[in-house]
Structure 1
Amino acid sequence: MTDISKEAFHDALEAVGRPVATAAQVARELDCTQAEAADALAELAESGDVERADVENDPVVWYPRDWLELTDRERVVPFPDRREIVVDQPAQFTRAQLSRFAHLADTTRSGSYRYVVREEDVWAAPFESLDDLLDAMDRVLPRDCPGLKDWVEEQWNRATRFRLVTHEDGYVVLEAKTESLLGNVADQHLADDVIRAPISDTEAWVAENKVAELKRTLYEAGYPVQDERDLESGEPLDVDLHLELRDYQQDWVERFVDASSGVLVGPPGSGKTVAAMGVLEAVGGETLILVPSRELAAQWREELLAHTSLERDQIGEYHGGTKNVRPVTIATYQTAGMDRHRHVFDDREWGLVVYDEVHHIPAEVARRSADLQSKHRLGLTATPVREDDKEEDIYTLVGPPIGTDWDALFDAGYVAEPTVEIRYVPWRDDDARYEYAAESGHTRRRLAAENPAKDEEVKHLLRQHADKQALVFVDYLEQGERLAEAIDAPFVSGETRHAEREALFDRFRTGALDALVVSRIGDEGIDLPDAELAVVASGLGGSRRQGAQRAGRTMRPGGQSLLFVLATRGTEEEDDARSRMRHLAAKGVRVTESGSEQA
């Protein structure tokens, strides 16, 4: 007799498209005889998993005893023509797998996720070969989608049509796979001053100062360029790392060394800085590290001194506070991008340039640093997404993504998976709600963000989790000062003096402070490893990167990490909060929603 499991019966119901089915319909879907299906369904009925009913038009139909099992189980529905995948109640594995080759475009409160497979998702997919990518698709899609696979193969091949190499005489050459590519694609899209002269039917001499423009232009035309130039390797530098790399960190280092350029993409707490020091050891050349802030420059210096063989006189800092160039130099994007300082970095041959928080690169000042010539260019980020949709600039200016599934790091215990909850807070009173309704634009958004009722919700959450160190994030100074007074905690903002700020951070790290209220300066570049609880009282609209960065302040190994995002009920903050958390959901983190417990 054919053995039909409860799951197989549910699959048959989904294929039929109805919550009930006859034995004949089940037989067609499961490729067995009607008699075999009827016997198997009778067995399921005896075990209590399936019910039967006699109806007028068909003698017997079968349906699940527990109807909720149909609505709660995962269902993946591909739409190949639109290159979309809709998933109801996705498992963590499914979300993590989809994030490797698709973009999470939308979510609903009912647990539906809509993914779109875009060109850039295929170009940036972290697979060694096309077969590996197609295998990952097969593991998550319920049926073969030949049209979608053909399109994915075309996009994968597009990423190998152009490459940049160094001619034996030292100048840069653009190589195309075919003559038509060089003539019909490159010549049509590139400005006249980018190509100096043709060399052959498939090769052209590129103006050296136009390389970044060429890469961006061809990327936007649908042809990412492989950069295989012989760039500066710098003076040798002997560095030993005093830490043992985790397996995935070693994999990052090896993949980077093979490629010579790339962006390490991993969740906060996964050890990207440690992996970068492993790259420094492997490359063995003088290194420039670019960071967004002086605080992060100081942290890098201390990390290098603590975990490598570098001596103090081998590490320099170059920013508003100090200006020393050494074999390993840590500079801010702002300073390195200023015209009066550019020669300091241009005149030195760097074996490795590290772009920390690399999502800053598309910004005008930071972009100038991407022209620095180095054989090895390494970016670090947890969140390459940008709200201006310029994340492709990160990969064209620095290199392709190199990363590990967040889900795998959660499962291995290297990174704590946060419990994320969006909590909707009512207005404190009718007067506040009426004031909001009467306003528009920025004033309206700010009233929702600074809703005084959030103060009580923050106090409630801190009392509820009194055993955890807490960070409270705000976007407005007045709200920060008010909350700091309400919970009797210091407020750290851009107006806080540098020395005082560092002292407060040190007290928080050592456990001397139970809570801190932090403005936007806490979104990145500040290491607060012991934060177990984060409360986002207000945020930057729907910024996905900010949402992930703030969640990342709690994503450290050990213990249970909690993130609460507060949004004023009935305002556009509700949609903004979901948008900020969507990036985490795409990475396999489960995000829930609830009402305020103080309502």
Structure 2
Amino acid sequence: MVRVPTLKYHKGTLILHPPPKGKEWLDFATWDDRVEKFRIPGIYYRPLVETLQAAKIEFIDDAKEFISLDLSPSVEMEPYPHQQEALLAWKKAGRKGVVVLPTASGKTYLAQLAMQATPRTTLIIVPTLDLLHQWYAQMEAAFPDLEVGLLGGGSKDRSPILIATYNSAAIHSETLGNRYALIIFDECHHLPTDFFRRIAEDAIAPYRLGLTATPERTDGTHRELDTLIGPVIYRKTPQDLSGQALADHKVVQIKVKLSPKERETYEKAIKTRNNFLKESNISLSSLEGWQLFVQASARSVAGRRAMLAHREAKEIASGTDGKLRVLAELIAQHYPESLLIFTNDNATVYRISQEFLIPAITHQTPVKERHEILNLFREGQYKTLVTSHVLNEGVDVPDARVAIILSGTGSAREYVQRLGRVLRKGKQPDKLAILYEVVAEDTSEERTSQRRRGGEDKPEPKEEPKHQQLELISFSEVNKPKKIPRAAESSVPWKTDDDSIT
């Protein structure tokens, strides 16, 4: 009597035994001499099942442990058009893919809509503990009759809806891999690393949703999201949603001249650095060039001198006294409005905090103190807040209309995240958000600003929409896995919310 093949899950992989007839499924499998059985990576579960179904191969599926849920929300809101469009695009793509939406555009509610349309056990992956608690609060409010659990920050729950940090999910990927039918990757640009990618590779989840404001990574690994989650299936920029889901906004660039003394020191430092780069045949126009510079700087006295000169020039440009005078003018101009100030380093944060008596938040700020500062900012007791990178991602920043970038990196992602901090409409339907960029003129900061605004890390930068306003003001008087095989055309399509899934 012929035994029916059984599909089982084992520590991030699938075992199909005894081997079924046909050859189509072998594209996914590797023979394991240790157990004398065929083993298949967990991520291949869906195409493998579709291939077996298409070939009309009978098998027993003991791999999946995900179940159906009653995901009736306690409160329903009318989705924005872009949320409805994104959900439809995700469904049409087979419930796999990445949605790119700016900060404050409602990605969390979009994820809730995806869960309601795919009512199965769900795993939500987030990068920070702040986001872990924010998602937990939203899921508990949305589905009060369901158990919502946490994995990370000292919690190790097992629940139908589980919210986990990337670190904790990667550590436990082999035990989580077959329990969830839907995985939502928040800030999914974190996923393509050697450690985090195992979350996606060990999981058999047939449904996957990635959420991010900017998927592109400087190392190029964002292309692997196509395999780990699915391709980008919907994309909107802050300009696309300006005046609709997000507030209208304008970007104002203020150029500040270095003082004669600062200019002299800056040019001397840049010359020292550039002479070394020229002698070493190194160009800083790419990430690889920067890595070569770092390596070369550790090999010789001249290299160390060049690196110190580079840092000195950067500190002069980012911390020129002229910027602080502009900052004082902007604070006075917008008082008593809420105002966020961003810098690229903690030293400048603490300098501003001390000189202007402004509360500061950095990665060194204790969690309780951070929450207290944000609450006082939300309540209006603090009108201004200064920070470096810690509020870029994963923190629910209270509504503000004005943000000032005194210094930053060339990252388009960071730029979009910081802009997003002032784009929430809040209770102001006619809100006009303003982002000031204060840039040291005739320094490397100008090129850095162009990169982050131009989005050069994107493969196909789009023409800037006409309704975005950019004002230029010059203050001259101021001083990997292998590719997943394509499944055969199936006469039994993968089941959706319109077809019962077991």
- Fold agreement, TM-score > 0.5: yes
CA 1:310–1:459 in structure 2 vs 1: closer, same or farther (change >3 Å)? same
1:17 aligned partner = none
1:593 aligned partner = 472
1:253 to 69, 77, 87: 87
Gaps of 5+ in 1: 1-166, 173-195, 214-224
Contact 1:353 1:378 in 2 (8 A): yes
1:518 to 378, 383, 387: 387
1:204 aligned partner = 27
3-state SS of paired residue (1:364): coil
Deviation at 1:304, TM superposition (A): 1.8
Taking the TM superposition and a 5 Å limit, the aligned residue runs for 1:418-497 are: 418-427=249-258, 429-439=259-269, 440=273, 441=307, 442-443=310-311, 444-497=313-366
Taking the TM superposition and a 5 Å limit, the aligned residue runs for 1:76-155 are: none
CA distance in 2, matches of 1:382, 1:363: 18
**Which consecutive aligned stretches of 4+ in structure 1 deviate over 6 angstroms post-superposition?**
225-231
| Aligned length, in residue pairs | 394
Contact 1:481 1:491 in 2 (8 A): yes
Rg larger for: 1
> Do residues 358 (structure 1) and 193 (structure 2) align?
no
1:376 to 195, 207, 212: 207
CA distance in 1, matches of 2:371, 2:355: 23
Higher relative contact order structure (alpha carbons within 8 Å, sequence separation ≥ 6): 2
1:287 aligned partner = 122
3-state SS of paired residue (1:393): helix
CA distance in 2, matches of 1:328, 1:483: 43
Deviation at 1:501, TM superposition (A): 0.8
Deviation at 1:512, TM superposition (A): 2.7
CA distance in 2, matches of 1:331, 1:415: 28
Deviation at 1:511, TM superposition (A): 2.6
CA distance in 2, matches of 1:198, 1:581: 56
Gaps of 5+ in 2: 10-18, 31-38, 54-62, 274-306, 456-460, 479-502
3-state SS of paired residue (1:561): strand
Query: In structure 2, what residue type is equivalent to 1:593?
Result: L
2:434 aligned partner = 562
Deviation at 1:569, TM superposition (A): 1.1
CA 1:198–1:405 in structure 2 vs 1: closer, same or farther (change >3 Å)? farther
1:505 aligned partner = 374
Deviation at 1:364, TM superposition (A): 2.7
Deviation at 1:199, TM superposition (A): 5.6
CA distance in 2, matches of 1:227, 1:386: 32
> Do residues 322 (structure 1) and 155 (structure 2) align?
yes
CA-based RMSD of the aligned residues comes to: 3.3
Give the stretch that moved more between structures: 198-207 or 371-380.
198-207
For residues 420-467 of structure 1, what are the alpha-carbon distances to aligned partners after superposition, in whole Å with 9 as ceiling and x for unaligned? 12222222x322222222323441223322223211212211222224
For residues 545-577 of structure 1, what are the alpha-carbon distances to aligned partners after superposition, in whole Å with 9 as ceiling and x for unaligned? 111111111112231101112221111110101
Deviation at 1:388, TM superposition (A): 2.1
CA 1:494–1:411 in structure 2 vs 1: closer, same or farther (change >3 Å)? closer
3-state SS of paired residue (1:378): strand
1:274 aligned partner = 109
For residues 460-503 of structure 1, what are the alpha-carbon distances to aligned partners after superposition, in whole Å with 9 as ceiling and x for unaligned? 11222224311111121111001112332111011000111112
CA 1:251–1:507 in structure 2 vs 1: closer, same or farther (change >3 Å)? same
CA distance in 1, matches of 2:452, 2:389: 15
1 or 2, which has the higher helix percentage?
1
3-state SS of paired residue (1:268): coil
Deviation at 1:520, TM superposition (A): 0.7
Query: In structure 2, what residue type is equivalent to 1:353?
Result: I
Deviation at 1:168, TM superposition (A): 8.7
CA distance in 2, matches of 1:205, 1:327: 29
CA distance in 1, matches of 2:42, 2:176: 18
For residues 353-399 of structure 1, what are the alpha-carbon distances to aligned partners after superposition, in whole Å with 9 as ceiling and x for unaligned? 11101111123332222222211111111111222232212232111
